[in-house]
A and B are shown apart, each in its own frame.
Chain A
Amino acid sequence: MLPLRLVCGGIWRAAVHTVRTSRGAPPYRLLSSTCDGAPAALADADTIFALSSGHGRCGVAVVRVSGPASATALRCMAGFTQRLPSPRTALLRSITDPRSTEVLDRGLVLWFPAPRSFSGEDSVEFHIHGGPAVITAVLQALGSVPGLRPAEAGEFTRRAFQAGKLGLTEVEGLGDLIHAETEAQRRQALRQMSGELGRLYQDWSDRLKRCLAHVEAFIDFSEDELIEDGVLNRVDVSVRDLQAEIERHLKDERRGERLRGGVQVVIAGATNAGKSSLLNKLCQRPAAIVSPIAGTTRDVVETALDLGGFPVLLSDTAGLRDSSDLVEREGVRRARERVEQADLTLVVVDSAHLPSEVDRAAAFLREHLSSVLPDTGRCLLVLNKADLLPEKQRQKLDMELRGVSGLPAVCLISCQTNEGLKDFLTVLHSSVKTLCGDPLFGAPTLTQARHRAHLQRCAAALAQYQRYRDTDLALAAEGVRLAVTSLGRITGRVGAEEILDIIFKDFCIGK
């Protein structure tokens, strides 16, 4: 944990900035840094955004936007169609996704027009609920606003510095701060880059560099030298393949981002099955109110937890039943909605309701599942209150319900006596691990939205190559250059000299 200080509105304000080192580092950080060796821009006209509060369990998260398009972001995400709010005043607003107009959260928004903002530029703060799902959604929505991109290393602070917002005493230690950031980023990058993902990016980067070197050789030398006619045709094939591969990678069902934002696990089932008790057991604190009265939980209760190294967003929902109570009906609606969005549903059943015969119990469970889950969503069956069953029946169910066709994994537990909890946790952990795609063994996945943004830019640049290939090779080459630069933001900078080295290795330039 590295506590870092951030600047707000010209005064120092402490904010805990968490850098997790034990596992996949959080993706959106105020000073999320480049992996390339080159120092990032000191300032430019882009509008940048980042989560500026700590990543992890927190009640309120602050997302900052800085740059000329900040007002646009505020307009299209907080519904200010006409006038912007008065400066530096907190307002409670619905925060919506500009693409779908779906409400992501309700939170506070603040508008800081230039120059009276922490960065000296127009900026906006969104104070939203601290759950990873909400944060991820808001950040993704921001990424879809034209002109906005995730911030690079130290960019906010540097902009503030450029604008003269940091006094000289405040700047002391700034270098150390950025150094720490860079170090943390470097460690994370190393972890990422030594894995399969790193090898994948490195391979792309090598192939792209070669493409660029060959196009550049064709431009600079083909008039005087023997550069085989096939050179450009080979580049065409490589560029097409690379573009296809990158686009395929971008459509990888967001497995890597799940790792970053947390796996959404939803506890669902009938009333009074012990869902809230299970939540409390899993997060080892009374997050939800537990009572013997059916229908105690009426809204969704959300908790972030760390399950054997994987971030999990656990939601407890209202028990599913028909109710005449308006509030409870809304709770049930939200529960069903949440189950639909879940990566994994824990269907909790009161064991006492199970028929004693195994066959009939299996049929009961199948029917119950179909009433809880929309279709074939991933789920685990949790048979709670096992302590209430006679020992003999307990053993029989435990033995015989395993491997029954049409049923997911079944865990017999008791939140009262902790019986079976350890085994259940093992099963849950392995399910979550599968969902995230094991970074060590699984297919490489995107772990950072930043990577995604750079990869998208890379793929678009390769399309530019194809567009201009036959009419203007200089503009086509510009496409490959942009692609190399974009990928270089992930794998490291590529200089002109490196390209020339490849040229002279591959061609006999003899003029």
Chain B
Amino acid sequence: MLRKKLPFLRSLLSSVSRHVGHLAGHQYDVIVVGGGHAGTEAAAAAARVGAETLLITQKIHTIGALSCNPSLGGVGKGQLVKEVDALDGLCGRAGDWAGIHFSILNRRKGPAVWGPRAQLDRQRYRDFIQSELLSTPRLTVLEGSVEELLVTEPNPEEPGHHRVTGIRLANGSHAISARSVVLTTGTFLSGSLFVGQTTSPGGRIGDAPSSAGLSHTLRERLGLRTGRLRTGTPPRIVKDSVDLSLAKLHLPDSHPTPFSFLNTHTHCKPEEQLPCYLTFTTPGVERVVRESLQLNCHIQQDTKGPRYCPSIESRVLRFPGRSHQVWLEPEGVTSDLLYPQGLSMTMPPDIQLRLIREIPPMRRAEIHTPGYGVQYDFVCPTQLSPALQVKSTQGLFLAGQINGTTGYEEAAAQGLWAGANAARWALSMPTVTLSRTESYIGVLIDDLVSRGVTEPYRMFTSRAEFRTSLRPDNADLRLTPKGFEEVGCVSSVRYQESLRVRNSLQDALTALQALFLSTSSWKKKLPSVPISETKSTLLTGLDLLQYNDVTFEMLASAFPESLSSYMEFAQRLKIEAVYKPHCDLNKKEIERIQREENMSLPQDIDYFSLPVSLSDEVREILDRVRPSTLGAATRLEGITPAAVVNLLNYVRVTEKKKETHRNQRHQEAQRDEELCANSASSPQ
């Protein structure tokens, strides 16, 4: 399915959408602000759902830019990429197109925690994303800067509740109206850049800062609580100036595994892949960090930075006297730069040079672009619904770093979900949610909206309670049918393919269970497998497949007539067989959580006056977080069993009242109809 050639897209894109004039006064269903990983997925998903969509970004040619590391996926993040792909998102296919070094991390630790990952060619990634957006029906791309978010005055009957009506562009008075707006402003919301002791406004080096108007609307007009986070990026190194013979060579997998369920191979041929290199910091690095501390304002400020993606400064300060890993990664096939993963730093450029030259392969290295730090505002995500819609503002959706996350994959996942929901909202369809029991995207969103963030949020497999069920290999089975049937963001081609896969896997498992032989017969069929005679005398093919040293291929060659037609699923079947007993155990707990998640708590409850028995402390927690469902309330810290029962009671009572009300209305309507039908003076 990989397209062989990308069109001459950049010239096309710019010619199509740089003219703003004809857009003024135009009504869109969805406007997406920002063209990063969240924005592109949001715009594409909204258009797939069927909304007339406008993507507004500062520079068209930076759409799909990888601002930081040139890689995609990894442990936990790879699961997100697979899930975005299962929902027909862009990043998986873009990764397959742009990847130049593929590897499955955690290969020896079990398929549930495999981490598909690729080093990317920055240019190819951008090309693919831009080409995709250009060929997406119903999607228009516009270059511009958004000055203001347009919202209605709050409804006097529902104080504090606004509705989005569109945006106003900077440098002109153009207002463009839309029913939904998705904000994916990344690090640009009140962003400041830090290098050494200099600070300048902005979200990324080389780009203009975004206007203060947006930030003002969110805080002052809509009253949203915001916080401040920081992140950073390492200097880019001139490849020719590095002596890679002093670093450890790290080769990719000899058979690259594509991210996308639609691809059987990657764009890059196995033999064309580029290696990475591993090296280590020296005591000299620590010395340079300590000597330059007073010249480093980013590191001195106490804004929350990530614990797991820290700068080299905080690494050596927190764990002194150690040698830290530094990966030297290619930036692309034709790029002459290297990306030193692990060396994010914010000291003055001359000291950055001193620091990297303390590392043996970089003794004579030259810096192409210095590293820098960014501080930016995020909106406390507990103010969002699980559809990523701002609770107090109808039609306003947020995705990506604006919600306090870090990472391309986290941004893409939220973007897709926010975009699909923005489209559904605009088209008057109910918004949809993903449970943490069925996907990493669900875990991500639930963690954000029900717990909030105190530091940039990154996905780990340890965050998923049902890790053994939420595997990278089965993301299509988990999400593609739902994406087509309930969300509308999946193409029919992909849907049909997922059904074919699901049915084939099901048939194959049935065929395996139908092979019912005694241990002695199995021994004859598979002489190399140590089958213990003392075990139960009859075993199925499925039991056998759970053995460590039995592969599906072995069974298929022993029973070609019943199994050989499923050879394309050999690996998936092996994984299914091994995990089945554990997933069956998970199922009960999953069902319980889903039941609780099906009981929604109205967003407009006044918890302080709710006429049920709740302690002040519990009321305060509920009022602050406003969980969307009983399930989310149950997971909050400080919520007691008694409180849950009282809430449950409340939900039941309100549902019952609503039902009675509905029934009454229905009866009245029926009466009216009868009256109309019987009446000669009916207007019809």
Chain A interface residues toward B at CB < 8 A: 33-34, 37-46, 153-154, 158, 161, 168, 171, 174-176, 178-179, 182, 216, 218-221, 223-226, 468, 471-478, 495-497, 499-500, 503-504, 508-511
Indicate if the CB atoms of A500 and B460 lie closer than 8 Å: yes
Smallest beta-carbon distance B449→chain A, Å? 16
Contact with B110, one of A174, A175, A474 (Cβ below 8 angstroms) = A474
User: CB-CB < 8 A to B646: which residues of A?
Assistant: 174-175
Q: Please judge, given known A-B contacts A38-B634, A161-B648, whether A510 and B641 are in contact too, CB under 8 Å.
A: no
Indicate if the CB atoms of A178 and B592 lie closer than 8 Å: no
Indicate if the CB atoms of B325 and A175 lie closer than 8 Å: no
Q: How many residues of B contact A (CB 8 A)?
A: 63
Indicate if the CB atoms of B613 and A175 lie closer than 8 Å: yes
Q: Does B22 sit within 8 A of A, measured CB to CB? A: no
Q: Please judge, given known A-B contacts A171-B649, A509-B307, A510-B310, whether A478 and B324 are in contact too, CB under 8 Å.
A: no
Complex formed: what's the CA distance from A190 to B645 in Å?
Answer: 23
Contact with B327, one of A37, A179, A224 (Cβ below 8 angstroms) = A224
Complex formed: what's the CA distance from A43 to B634 in Å?
Answer: 13
Complex formed: what's the CA distance from A226 to B323 in Å?
Answer: 9
Contact with A223, one of B105, B582, B596, B644 (Cβ below 8 angstroms) = B105
- 10 interchain pairs, CB-CB under 8 A: A37-B640, A43-B592, A161-B648, A174-B645, A179-B640, A216-B460, A226-B322, A474-B461, A474-B467, A510-B309
Smallest beta-carbon distance A171→chain B, Å? 5
User: CB-CB < 8 A to B105: which residues of A?
Assistant: 223-224
Indicate if the CB atoms of B653 and A478 lie closer than 8 Å: no
Q: Does B319 sit within 8 A of A, measured CB to CB? A: yes
Smallest beta-carbon distance A498→chain B, Å? 11
Indicate if the CB atoms of A182 and B645 lie closer than 8 Å: no
Smallest beta-carbon distance A184→chain B, Å? 12
Smallest beta-carbon distance B292→chain A, Å? 19
User: CB-CB < 8 A to B113: which residues of A?
Assistant: 219-220, 473-474
Question: Which residue of chain B has the shortest Cβ distance to A473 in the bound complex?
Answer: B109
Complex formed: what's the CA distance from A474 to B327 in Å?
Answer: 26
Indicate if the CB atoms of A39 and B644 lie closer than 8 Å: yes
User: CB-CB < 8 A to B432: which residues of A?
Assistant: none
Complex formed: what's the CA distance from A33 to B76 in Å?
Answer: 35
Q: Please judge, given known A-B contacts A219-B75, A224-B74, A474-B468, whether A179 and B462 are in contact too, CB under 8 Å.
A: no
Complex formed: what's the CA distance from A42 to B463 in Å?
Answer: 23
Q: Please judge, given known A-B contacts A226-B324, A475-B110, A511-B308, whether A178 and B641 are in contact too, CB under 8 Å.
A: yes
Known contacts A475-B582, A504-B308; can you find 6 more A-B pairs with CB under 8 A?
A: A158-B645, A223-B74, A226-B322, A474-B111, A496-B465, A510-B308
Indicate if the CB atoms of A504 and B307 lie closer than 8 Å: yes
Complex formed: what's the CA distance from A41 to B594 in Å?
Answer: 12
Q: Does B212 sit within 8 A of A, measured CB to CB? A: no
Indicate if the CB atoms of B325 and A42 lie closer than 8 Å: no
Q: Does B661 sit within 8 A of A, measured CB to CB? A: no
Indicate if the CB atoms of B645 and A219 lie closer than 8 Å: no
Indicate if the CB atoms of A472 and B592 lie closer than 8 Å: no
Smallest beta-carbon distance A325→chain B, Å? 55
User: CB-CB < 8 A to A478: which residues of B?
Assistant: 467-468, 582
Smallest beta-carbon distance A501→chain B, Å? 9
Indicate if the CB atoms of A223 and B640 lie closer than 8 Å: no
Indicate if the CB atoms of A43 and B645 lie closer than 8 Å: no
Q: Does B642 sit within 8 A of A, measured CB to CB? A: yes
Indicate if the CB atoms of A499 and B640 lie closer than 8 Å: no
Complex formed: what's the CA distance from A220 to B464 in Å?
Answer: 12
Residue from the set A174, A474, A495, A497 with the largest chain B CB neighbour count within 10 Å: A474
Q: Please judge, given known A-B contacts A474-B113, A475-B582, whether A174 and B649 are in contact too, CB under 8 Å.
A: yes
Complex formed: what's the CA distance from A43 to B595 in Å?
Answer: 9
User: CB-CB < 8 A to B322: which residues of A?
Assistant: 226, 508
Indicate if the CB atoms of A510 and B596 lie closer than 8 Å: no
Smallest beta-carbon distance A455→chain B, Å? 19
Indicate if the CB atoms of A509 and B308 lie closer than 8 Å: yes
Indicate if the CB atoms of A472 and B109 lie closer than 8 Å: yes
Complex formed: what's the CA distance from A209 to B322 in Å?
Answer: 25
Residue from the set B113, B312, B634 with the largest chain A CB neighbour count within 10 Å: B113
Q: Does B421 sit within 8 A of A, measured CB to CB? A: no
User: CB-CB < 8 A to B595: which residues of A?
Assistant: 42-43
Q: Does B112 sit within 8 A of A, measured CB to CB? A: yes
Smallest beta-carbon distance B257→chain A, Å? 15
Question: Which residue of chain B has the shortest Cβ distance to A154 in the bound complex?
Answer: B641
User: CB-CB < 8 A to A153: which residues of B?
Assistant: 641
User: CB-CB < 8 A to A497: which residues of B?
Assistant: 451
Smallest beta-carbon distance B678→chain A, Å? 38
Q: Mark B102-115, 1 if CB is under 8 A from A, else 0.
A: 00011011111101
Indicate if the CB atoms of A500 and B592 lie closer than 8 Å: no
Complex formed: what's the CA distance from A179 to B591 in Å?
Answer: 26
User: CB-CB < 8 A to A45: which residues of B?
Assistant: 588, 591
Question: Which residue of chain A has the shortest Cβ distance to B589 in the bound complex?
Answer: A44
Indicate if the CB atoms of A41 and B592 lie closer than 8 Å: yes
Indicate if the CB atoms of B109 and A219 lie closer than 8 Å: yes
Contact with A496, one of B462, B548, B644, B649 (Cβ below 8 angstroms) = B462
Q: Does B342 sit within 8 A of A, measured CB to CB? A: yes
Complex formed: what's the CA distance from A224 to B460 in Å?
Answer: 13
Q: Does B621 sit within 8 A of A, measured CB to CB? A: no
Contact with A42, one of B109, B324, B648 (Cβ below 8 angstroms) = B648
Indicate if the CB atoms of B468 and A475 lie closer than 8 Å: yes
User: CB-CB < 8 A to B588: which residues of A?
Assistant: 44-46
User: CB-CB < 8 A to A46: which residues of B?
Assistant: 588
Question: Which residue of chain B has the shortest Cβ distance to A171 in the bound complex?
Answer: B649
Q: Does B427 sit within 8 A of A, measured CB to CB? A: no
Smallest beta-carbon distance B654→chain A, Å? 12
Contact with A474, one of B76, B109, B637, B638 (Cβ below 8 angstroms) = B109
Q: Mark B461-475, 1 if CB is under 8 A from A, else 0.
A: 111010110000000
Contact with B644, one of A42, A476, A503, A509 (Cβ below 8 angstroms) = A42
User: CB-CB < 8 A to A158: which residues of B?
Assistant: 645
Smallest beta-carbon distance B601→chain A, Å? 14
Complex formed: what's the CA distance from A388 to B429 in Å?
Answer: 96
User: CB-CB < 8 A to B638: which residues of A?
Assistant: 37
Q: Mark B323-350, 1 if CB is under 8 A from A, else 0.
A: 1110100000000000001100000000
Complex formed: what's the CA distance from A178 to B648 in Å?
Answer: 13
Q: Does B526 sit within 8 A of A, measured CB to CB? A: no
Indicate if the CB atoms of A226 and B613 lie closer than 8 Å: no
Indicate if the CB atoms of A224 and B639 lie closer than 8 Å: no
User: CB-CB < 8 A to A168: which residues of B?
Assistant: 653
Complex formed: what's the CA distance from A351 to B593 in Å?
Answer: 69
Q: Please judge, given known A-B contacts A41-B592, A510-B325, A511-B308, whether A178 and B645 are in contact too, CB under 8 Å.
A: yes
User: CB-CB < 8 A to A225: which residues of B?
Assistant: 325
Indicate if the CB atoms of A511 and B341 lie closer than 8 Å: yes
Smallest beta-carbon distance A204→chain B, Å? 21
Indicate if the CB atoms of B325 and A226 lie closer than 8 Å: yes
Q: Does B2 sit within 8 A of A, measured CB to CB? A: no
Q: Does B315 sit within 8 A of A, measured CB to CB? A: yes
